[in-house]
Amino acid sequence: MTSSRPRTLARPQRIVLYEEPATPALDLNELADYLRDATNLYVETRPEFFSHHGVPDLEDLAQQLAHLKVKDLYHEEQEFPSLLGDVDIERRLLLDPRKRLPGILYDGFRLQTLMRSFLPEAERTLRTVHLAFTPRLISTFDSGDRVYHARVIVCGLPALASTSGVVEGPAKPKAFYMAKRRYSAMGVTPPTEVLKEEFEGQFIDYDDERLTEVFKGYALQALFFHLVGDPFCADPACRLFNAHWQEEMLGAQIHSAALCDVHAELLPVGS
């Protein structure tokens, strides 16, 4: 295969993984072992991001988080006042990180900026890859179709990987939505459990047993963002493929479960 080797930007020295207590199926130790083997870097696991770094003012953080909620999918960078109920929810989530509240969409880049302010100065460098898992559903505004899209990962410092985004981000099979519409057309609420059974294995669900395997690829995307400035690859069989469909994500992370030759050549990073 003739292709140019991407120029490396930084030499990351370690990867720090943060726990996500709402998702027991995510095995951080297995993920850490995989990354150690693949990258030869020092890999550290830590408790949930805010618990680890400490929250000096819970009320203030709850208010800041409530501000990051996307209230209009078609407008970027909204500054709506947060409602009391929103702040309440954030306070509850901070006090008990085992909770997951579906349906709230956050602006991923703004959440990342807020979380970056919690990183100690010495760790705020491209040499450390911080990967914070979160049950919060993160999204970014697409300037092409001018709408917010749910994401599995937002790379950067820290990188955010969402255990809700992996379910809600990449689209499910077309037949799934058609079946859902069929039920709606009959005036029946689509029986989610029945549909999930019918399409079993074709998409990642909450607390899915394949989550750890799937997130291995996303952890590599977080690393490659630091390494070459681009976390993605055009090869659908590469773990760095930017999947828009569940089928594509499962193809890259479960069926292929490998990097393409160009990206594989950049590993291991550590000596």
Residues 6+ apart with CB under 8 A from 111: 65, 68, 136, 138, 154, 160
- Nearest CB to Zn ion, comparing residues 4 and 117: 4
Which of residues 15 and 240 has its CB atom nearest to Zn ion in the complex? 240
By C-alpha distance, which of 182, 271, 183, 269 is closest to 6? 269
We find the least distance from the C-beta atom of residue 121 to Zn ion, in angstroms, to be 33
Work out whether 238 is an interface residue with Zn ion (CB under 5 A).
yes
C-alpha triplet 102, 45, 133: angle, nearest 5°? 20
Q: Which DSSP symbol is given to 16?
A: E
Binding window for Zn ion (CB under 5 A); candidates: 34-42, 103-111, 135-143, 239-247:
239-247
From CA 256, how far away is CA 254, in angstroms rounded? Answer: 6
Is 263 a residue that touches Zn ion (CB under 5 A)? Answer: yes
Closest separation between CB of residue 155 and Zn ion, Å? 15
Range 243-262, binding Zn ion (CB under 5 A): 260
Instruction: Using the minimum distance from each CB to Zn ion, give the nearer residue, 235 or 247.
Output: 235
Q: What is the DSSP string of 67-107?
A: TTB---TTSSS--PPPPHHHHHHHHHHHH-TT---TT-EEE
* Binding of Zn ion by 220 (CB under 5 A): no
Residue with smaller CB distance to Zn ion, 51 or 256:
256
227 binds Zn ion (CB under 5 A): no
Residue from 233, 243, 250, 252 in contact with Zn ion (CB under 5 A): 233
> Is residue 214 a contact residue for Zn ion (CB under 5 A)?
no
Q: Which is nearer to Zn ion, 227 or 238 (CB)?
A: 238
Stretch of 3-11, 153-161, 203-211, 232-240 contacting Zn ion, by CB under 5 A = 232-240
Is 266:227 a contact under the CB 8 Å cutoff?
Answer: yes
CA distances from 227 to 44, 101, 124, 126, 184 (A): 18, 34, 15, 8, 47
Return phi, psi of residue 154, to 5°: -120, 110
How near is the Cβ of 259 to Zn ion at its closest, in Å? 5
The residue among 10 and 237 lying less far from Zn ion, judged by its C-beta, is 237
Sign of CA dihedral 188, 191, 197, 201: positive
Question: Which residues make up the interface to Zn ion (CB under 5 A)?
Answer: 233, 235, 238, 240, 260, 263
